[in-house]
């Protein structure tokens, strides 16, 4: 380093003063000594020049490095676009750009990143059943919604319900499968094709379901092994068919063509209205295993005839889980049913008009909390009341 600095020093010789400023020659005896101030000035000049040269060298190396980096091909990392849900959870897209228009050129490559304030851990799929304990206020519909399955799936796999959503009770433990379908215990001689056909499913879905742990190279199941049939279904018991009522007359929709005229004639209904003051559901909607709707109606609330007709049933008691029940034949093929009443205010064969109070809502029969169970039947078959009532 020292020889290098000496060379630099030789490039910048000391400035010569004009002759007028040149000191007169003196004798060696009278020659003054070298001034310390002059020596310090020379040292300061050398330090400044040294730092200047060093700075030039450093900035030259840095500039060369940046130029070299800018000639490299750009590296672009692309991530999926942020959705509204991700943005609401704290995910914010951040684009680091070199200011060259986003084409990846310039001093630095363009990198697309998504800044997150928390780590998202993906949920692992569930393949095993889950046990759920029913609490007060539950309904089959709400339980099914919370586990993202259909209500009939819960009926398929829980024999204690006896295919009836109204059998739900606080403290009851339900088996909740990971998805829609049902469980089956394999028997000797069973085949995938036969079981899939019996339960309206696909054989490949049974074989490929990870929870069944079937060897795909040699698919077979040992007898007495319980497997899950994805998407499988079966017939549910139609409890409404057990409710026997007196007929209004021939071809009226209650008893069919061979029904006796137990109540005689009467007015014929035209159109249907809502049977309760509240127009919201309190629990189960219409579907397999629940052939009516549960309308929000507190204990003792009025229950109205949905249409004009003749009362063909007004009976108290259990009545196959319906409890205190009223049925009205409207004479046009339609029949309406009002169940779980606390009080019945009409009698059999009585004529009623649309909007007449026929009873008070309650919690009788196979009921889980006060509400009105309302059904509509056509020719003896149930239909969705939402398609009829206004």
Q: Are residues 261 and 368 in the same domain?
A: yes
Q: Are residues 383 and 246 in the same domain?
A: yes
Strand 351-352 and strand 357-361: the pairing is: unpaired
**SS3 call for 99:** coil
Q: How far apart are CA 274 and CA 269, in angstroms?
A: 14
Q: How far apart are CA 348 and CA 99, in angstroms?
A: 86
Q: Are residues 294 and 226 in the same domain?
A: no
Strand 372-378 and strand 309-315: the pairing is: unpaired
Q: How far apart are CA 18 and CA 1, in angstroms?
A: 35
Cβ 298 vs Cβ 282: under 8 Å? no
- Asked if the structure places residue 63 within a domain, the reply is no
**SS3 call for 330:** coil
Q: Are residues 248 and 372 in the same domain?
A: yes
Q: Are residues 175 and 243 in the same domain?
A: no
Q: Are residues 274 and 325 in the same domain?
A: yes
Cβ 270 vs Cβ 308: under 8 Å? yes
CATH classification at residue 142: 3.10.350.10
Q: Are residues 223 and 260 in the same domain?
A: no
- Asked if the structure places residue 4 within a domain, the reply is no
Q: How far apart are CA 337 and CA 327, in angstroms?
A: 5
Query: Measuring CA to CA, how many Å separate 40 from each of 32, 34, 49?
Result: 17, 11, 15
- Asked if the structure places residue 25 within a domain, the reply is no
pLDDT tens string, the chain, 390 residues long: the values are 556 656 656 665 555 555 545 555 545 445 555 555 555 566 677 788 888 888 888 888 888 887 777 777 766 656 555 554 554 455 445 444 444 444 444 555 555 566 666 666 667 788 899 999 998 878 788 898 899 999 899 999 999 988 888 788 888 999 999 999 999 999 999 999 999 999 999 999 999 999 999 999 999 999 999 999 999 999 888 776 667 666 666 555 454 444 455 677 788 888 899 999 999 888 778 877 788 899 999 999 999 999 999 998 999 988 888 899 999 998 888 899 999 999 999 998 899 999 999 999 999 988 878 899 999 988 778 889 988 886
- Which residue segment(s) compose the domain that 170 sits in? 130-230
**SS3 call for 212:** helix
- Asked if the structure places residue 274 within a domain, the reply is yes
Closest CA to 94 of 69, 77, 106: 77
- Asked if the structure places residue 81 within a domain, the reply is no
Domain boundary among 230, 263, 292: 230
Domain boundary among 210, 230, 250: 230
Q: Are residues 219 and 243 in the same domain?
A: no
Strand positions, DSSP E, the chain: 92-96, 111-115, 130-133, 173-176, 181-185, 226-230, 293-295, 302-304, 309-315, 324-329, 334-344, 351-352, 357-361, 372-378, 381-383
Closest CA to 290 of 159, 153, 138, 135: 153
Q: Interhelix angle for 2-11 vs 36-70, to 10°?
A: 110
φ and ψ at residue 37, rounded to 5 degrees: -65, -40
Cβ 100 vs Cβ 106: under 8 Å? yes
CATH classification at residue 332: 2.70.70.10
Q: What's the CA dihedral at 364, 368, 370, 373 to 10 degrees?
A: -80
Whole-number pLDDT of residue 43: 60
Backbone dihedral region of 42: left (phi > 0), alpha (psi from -120 to 50 degrees) or beta?
alpha
Whole-number pLDDT of residue 99: 45
Rg (CA), the chain: 45
Cβ 376 vs Cβ 385: under 8 Å? yes
**Residue 266: half-sphere exposure toward Cβ, Cα within 13 Å:** 27
Number of domains in the chain: 2
- Asked if the structure places residue 310 within a domain, the reply is yes
- Asked if the structure places residue 6 within a domain, the reply is no
Q: Are residues 205 and 326 in the same domain?
A: no
């Amino acid at each position: 380093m020292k020889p290098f600095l000496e060379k630099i020093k030789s490039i910048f010789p000391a400035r010569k003063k004009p002759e007028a400023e040149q000191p007169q020659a003196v004798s060696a005896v009278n020659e003054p000594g070298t001034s310390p101030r002059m020596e310090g000035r020379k040292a300061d000049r050398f330090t400044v020049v040294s730092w200047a040269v060093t700075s030039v060298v450093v900035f030259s190396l840095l500039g060369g490095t940046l130029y070299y980096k800018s000639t490299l091909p750009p590296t672009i990392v692309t991530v999926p676009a942020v959705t509204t849900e991700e943005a609401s959870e704290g995910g914010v897209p951040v684009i680091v750009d070199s200011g060259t228009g986003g084409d990846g050129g310039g001093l630095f490559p363009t990198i697309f990143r998504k800044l997150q304030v928390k780590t998202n851990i993906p949920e692992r799929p569930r393949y095993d059943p889950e046990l759920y304990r029913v609490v007060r206020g539950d309904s089959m519909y709400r339980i099914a919604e919370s586990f993202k399955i259909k209500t009939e799936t819960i009926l398929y796999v829980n024999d204690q319900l006896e295919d009836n959503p109204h059998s739900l009770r606080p403290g009851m433990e339900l088996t909740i499968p990971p998805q829609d379908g049902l469980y089956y215990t394999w028997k000797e001689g069973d085949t995938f094709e036969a079981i899939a056909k019996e339960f309206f499913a696909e054989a490949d879905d049974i074989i490929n379901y990870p929870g069944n742990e079937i060897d795909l190279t040699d698919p077979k199941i040992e007898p007495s092994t319980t497997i899950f049939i994805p998407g499988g279904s079966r017939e549910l018991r139609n409890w409404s068919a057990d409710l026997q009522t007196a007929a209004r007359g021939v071809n009226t929709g209650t008893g069919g063509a061979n029904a006796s005229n137990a109540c005689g004639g009467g007015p014929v209904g035209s159109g249907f209205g809502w049977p309760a003051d509240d127009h919201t559901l309190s629990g189960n909607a219409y579907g397999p295993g629940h052939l009516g709707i549960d309308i929000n109606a507190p204990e003792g609330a009025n229950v109205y005839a949905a249409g004009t007709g003749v009362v063909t049933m007004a009976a108290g008691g259990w009545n196959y889980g319906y409890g205190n029940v009223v049925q009205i034949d409207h004479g046009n093929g339609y029949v309406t049913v009002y169940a779980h009443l606390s009080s019945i205010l009409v009698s059999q064969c009585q004529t009623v008009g649309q909007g007449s109070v026929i009873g008070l809502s309650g919690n009788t029969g196979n009921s889980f909390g006060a509400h009105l169970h309302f059904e509509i039947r056509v020719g003896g078959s149930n239909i969705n009341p939402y398609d009829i009532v206004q």
